[in-house]
């Protein structure tokens, strides 16, 4: 899986703009949490770059290293912070979000 890593808060505006023409997925990952690692592993195991990257563009946030960005994501898209958490952004709005064991590859691909 070829993640686009979020490392700077200014990238959120780029994501918002890009969401006008493509579906964006943000995966917020806690590197200290086994549930987060499990959810990440399930996504990566099922992901097929050729098939899935045309449906949804994946972004990855290490929220331990970038908690300020995680907080801004919660504020910008009016979603309560959770970890792990996945958000789907379309046309500047969060159209889907889930967390913990609710993060499901098949469900994401059916959106």
Report the sign of the C-alpha dihedral through residues 68, 66, 49, 85, in that order. negative
Whether the pTM exceeds 0.85: the reply is yes
As a whole number of angstroms, the distance between CA 15 and CA 50 comes to: 21
Between the alpha carbon of residue 81 and those of residues 46, 47, 56, 69, 110, the distances in Å are 25, 25, 22, 11, 24
Whose tokens are 């949804």? That residue is 56
Structure tokens at 33: 């949490």
Helix (H, G, I), strand (E, B) or coil at 26: strand
Ordered domains of the chain (ranges, CATH): 4-110 (3.40.30.10)
Strand, helix or coil for residue 95: strand
pLDDT confidence of residue 38? 95
| Tens digits of residue pLDDT in 73-105 | 999 999 999 999 999 999 999 999 999 999 999
CB crowding 23-60: b at 16 or more within 10 Å, else e: bbbbbbbbeebeebeebbeebeeebeeeebeeebbbbb
Structure confidence at residue 111 as a pLDDT band (50, 70, 90): confident
């Amino acid at each position: 899986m070829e993640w686009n890593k979020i490392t700077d808060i200014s990238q959120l505006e780029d994501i918002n703009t890009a969401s006008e023409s493509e579906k964006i997925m943000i995966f917020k990952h806690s590197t200290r949490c086994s549930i987060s690692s499990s959810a990440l592993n399930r996504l990566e195991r099922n992901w097929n770059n050729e098939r899935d990257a045309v449906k949804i563009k994946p972004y990855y946030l290490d929220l331990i290293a970038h908690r300020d960005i995680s907080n801004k994501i919660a504020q910008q898209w009016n979603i309560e912070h959770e970890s792990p958490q996945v958000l789907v952004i379309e046309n500047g709005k969060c159209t889907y979000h889930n967390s913990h064991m609710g993060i499901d590859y098949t469900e994401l691909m059916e959106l």
